[in-house]
Amino acid sequence: MAPTLTTTQLILKPGTAWSDAWDRCLAVAPEAFQDDRVRNLWAASWKSDGRAVPATSPVDGGPIAGPPRLDAETAQQAVRASLDAHRVWRDVPLSERKARVAATLDALTEHRELLALLLVWEIGKPWRLAQADVDRAIDGVRWYVDGVEPMLADRTPLAGPVSNIASWNYPMSVLIHAMLVQALAGNAVIAKAPTDGGVACLTLACALAVREGIPLTLVSGSGGELSEALVRAPEIGCVSFVGGRDTGARIATAVADLGKRHILEQEGLNTWGIWNFSDWSSLTAVIPKLFDYGKQRCTAYPRFVVQRSLFADFLAAYLPAVRSIRLGHPLAVEHPGDPLPELDFGPLINAAKAKELNDQVSEAISRGAVPLHQGALDEGLFLPGQDTSAYLPPVTLLNPPPSSPLHHAEPFGPVDTIVLVDTEAELLAAMNASNGALVATLSTDDPATYARLSPQIRAFKTGHGKPRSRGDRDELFGGFGHSWRGAFVGGELLVRAVTDGPPGERPPGNFPDYHLMP
């Protein structure tokens, strides 16, 4: 069934406007926010430098704070200052580092709702998912605070600070989480604010951490201009990157040439295989969850590889579920006292991305792909007259042509593609189309079939009829093939990746000269 539509005119929930969030930021951290812009953080102080770039919210196209871009020379100064801080911080006793990180987590908890509201406006996360992003950061780092001592036994901080270059989609549960664990392990930490969104949320989180004495640096700028400082500078002890394969490949070449420690999480086409399967109700139940945040996740499943003889049954299970997807303005309500809406996703990161995907869908159809489902924006929940250019309803295509990017690459949006196969060999070939992935799932009734086929799927994590995620706390994470380069992370491996162990140690990971699973 399609989502139930309201006939009442929607309003923006009082107290949730961007101006409300911004005023709260000015009150909570006046040192980090100035008038209508954020500041850069380096050399242990907030600075009104850099060229402020205009930005708009994907939610409604309205203006929000953009990243204040530094030039390359200033970024080099920031890196040198971070090295000075690193040399002091690495000698701070672990008990004190734990206390400071714990105090930071308490401050993040106090301002949880403001951080989540910033995520809604800056990157379009629905309220439930924005809160979850903040909570996963706090709970995940607290797990390390409580159990880090054995992870650091006989290990020392790196020779220089950790440099983080991350995508915009998980500012808290991926980036802030990693930064605080890196600091807990004894390193000063540098981060480049993502160009596409999240700078205000990151600024507030860093302001709360710096107040507790955590040695963080947060700078903005174009990747090309700052890469010399944030990737190649000799002061940097480790480069941690989350993003696309093209940028990741350039960074991988640079760090390999320099022999630098690195963690490079890159995209891959995560696939869900259907083979000799009959539990269709379980699949129907999980389909809407796979559309969380419009599939703008590194562990999203945009490709289904389906046994041809099961295609009719698959459609009967899949189509009702995808038709139930709810999208719209994350802060739109009927009445002021209503709770914020329960949405599967809101906008994509920007209007350009929505247009790019829409164009790819149209081109794929013109070249032979079969549209099985195309949602409509008029089924969404929107304010009267609001800009909806960054929104794209769910689309499902059968057999995208090999010439289409949708055939071989991750769309990073709410576009599913289905490929039909007749043999196990075809199934495996289609599931391994992108030469490595982060996650995969195989739905099959026979445990023996799963045990036989799953090791041949080139994904770091493979689920049996259930989706896999990046994981929390002690769950490890990495990738096969081109989806990952460098040290694996998660659990104790994250600590090992940003510390030095005994001479000759080979950390688990995917390196130019070896691949070592945990």
pLDDT over 50 (residue 1): no
pLDDT interval class at 251 (50, 70, 90): confident
Specify the amino acid at residue 348.
L
Nearest to 228 by CA among 179, 174, 157, 163: 163
In CATH, what number does 37-50+66-266 get?
3.40.605.10
Q: Give percent of the chain above pLDDT 90.
A: 88
pLDDT tens track for 17-49: 999 999 999 999 999 999 999 999 999 999 999
pLDDT over 90 (residue 245): no
* pLDDT value of position 94: 98
Place of tokens 């206390």: 99
Place of tokens 């807990």: 184
* pLDDT value of position 317: 98
pLDDT tens track for 73-93: 999 999 999 999 999 999 999
Residues 263, 243 contacting (CB under 8 angstroms): no
Classified by CATH at the fold level, domain 271-464 comes out as: Aldehyde Dehydrogenase; Chain A, domain 2 (3.40.309)
- Helix (H), strand (E) at residue 34: strand 33-34
CA distance 368 to 14: 47
pLDDT interval class at 13 (50, 70, 90): very high
- Helix (H), strand (E) at residue 157: strand 156-157
pLDDT tens track for 369-396: 999 999 999 989 999 999 999 999 999 9
CA distance 439 to 457: 9
* pLDDT value of position 156: 97
* pLDDT value of position 28: 98
- Helix (H), strand (E) at residue 14: none
CA distance 348 to 296: 8
pLDDT tens track for 270-306: 999 999 999 999 999 999 999 999 999 999 999 999 9
Mean pLDDT of 9-16: 97
pLDDT over 60 (residue 3): no
CA distance 114 to 129: 14
Mean pLDDT across the chain, nearest whole number? 94
* pLDDT value of position 196: 93
* pLDDT value of position 408: 86
CA distance 394 to 374: 6
* pLDDT value of position 6: 45
pLDDT over 80 (residue 247): no
* pLDDT value of position 257: 72
Helices and strands counted in the chain (H then E) = 16, 27
Mean pLDDT of 485-501: 95
- Helix (H), strand (E) at residue 474: none
Taking the model in full, what pTM does it have?
0.95
Q: Do domains 37-50+66-266 and 271-464 have the same CATH topology?
A: no
Q: How far is CA 36 from CA 31, 63, 149, 252, 331, in A?
A: 13, 10, 42, 37, 22
Residues 148, 498 contacting (CB under 8 angstroms): no
Enumerate the domain spans of the chain: 37-50+66-266, 271-464
pLDDT tens track for 127-166: 999 999 999 999 999 999 999 999 999 999 999 999 999 9
* pLDDT value of position 5: 44
- Kindly provide the b/e burial profile for residues 337-364, where b requires at least 16 CB atoms within 10 angstroms of the residue's own CB: eeebbebbbbbbbbbebbebbbebbebb
Q: Which residue has the higher pLDDT, 251 or 163?
A: 163
CA distance 273 to 305: 5
* pLDDT value of position 472: 83
